[in-house]
């Protein structure tokens, strides 16, 4: 009998209103397009408490709409103590996210990874809150997630 174990993925960035929700909804679309929705649970969260409860930043929504990525209204949430045990993979966007997460959780299970490392690149996804370049954010996220799903 085929037994399918759900893979639980958490995307993490500083605010949870730009990069990590973009990654959450891009991955949900990719997974749906591949007929894999029963195999994944996908969510996102913030390291900081700066903008908890805020919806996705409007320019990030515009980038998602431009590329036909469905999304729902949501409120930014901060990472909780139980997230580390619950999720199988925790993908972060930049070195500061990585430092913050590893200092909080120590990462004995090796679950915390830079998202771009999935594409073989040891670099950050720059914060579009500061760069204003949401198109590059979209492209970076797609590149990393396509590598992840192709490599399964």
Minimum CB distance to ligand 4NP, residue 3 (Å)? 36
By the rule CB under 6 A, 142 interacts with ligand 4NP: no
Q: Does 12 bind ligand 4NP (CB under 6 A)?
A: no
In the numeric block, which tokens belong to residue 71? 């999304």
Among 15, 30, 118, 134, binds ligand 4NP (CB under 6 A): 15
State yes or no: residue 124 binds ligand 4NP (CB under 6 A).
no
Q: Show the binding pattern over residues 56-95: x = contacts ligand 4NP (CB under 6 A), - = does not.
A: ----------------------------------------
Backbone phi, psi, residue 15, to 5°: -105, -25
> Residue 120 to residues 19, 24, 99, 127, 147: CA-CA distances in angstroms?
19, 20, 20, 20, 9
List CB contacts of 36: < 8 A, sequence separation 6 or more. Answer: 149
Residue choice 24, 124, 127, 140 for contact with ligand 4NP (CB under 6 A): 127
Nearest by Cα to 41 from 11, 8, 70: 8
Q: Indicate which residues carry an active-site annotation.
A: 13, 19, 127
């Amino acid at each position: 009998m085929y037994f399918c174990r759900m893979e639980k993925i958490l995307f993490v960035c500083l605010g949870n209103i730009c990069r990590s929700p973009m990654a959450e909804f891009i991955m949900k679309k990719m997974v749906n397009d591949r007929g894999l929705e029963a195999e994944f649970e996908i969510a996102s969260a913030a390291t900081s408490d700066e903008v908890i409860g805020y919806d996705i930043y409007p320019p990030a929504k515009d980038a998602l709409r431009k590329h036909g990525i469905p999304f729902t209204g949501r409120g930014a949430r901060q990472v909780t103590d139980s997230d580390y045990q619950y999720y199988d993979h925790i993908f972060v966007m930049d070195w500061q996210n990585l430092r913050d997460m590893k200092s909080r959780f120590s990462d004995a299970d090796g679950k915390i990874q830079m998202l771009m490392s999935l594409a073989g690149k040891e670099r950050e996804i720059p914060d579009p809150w500061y760069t204003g370049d949401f198109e590059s954010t979209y492209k970076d996220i797609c590149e990393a997630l396509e590598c992840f799903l192709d490599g399964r």
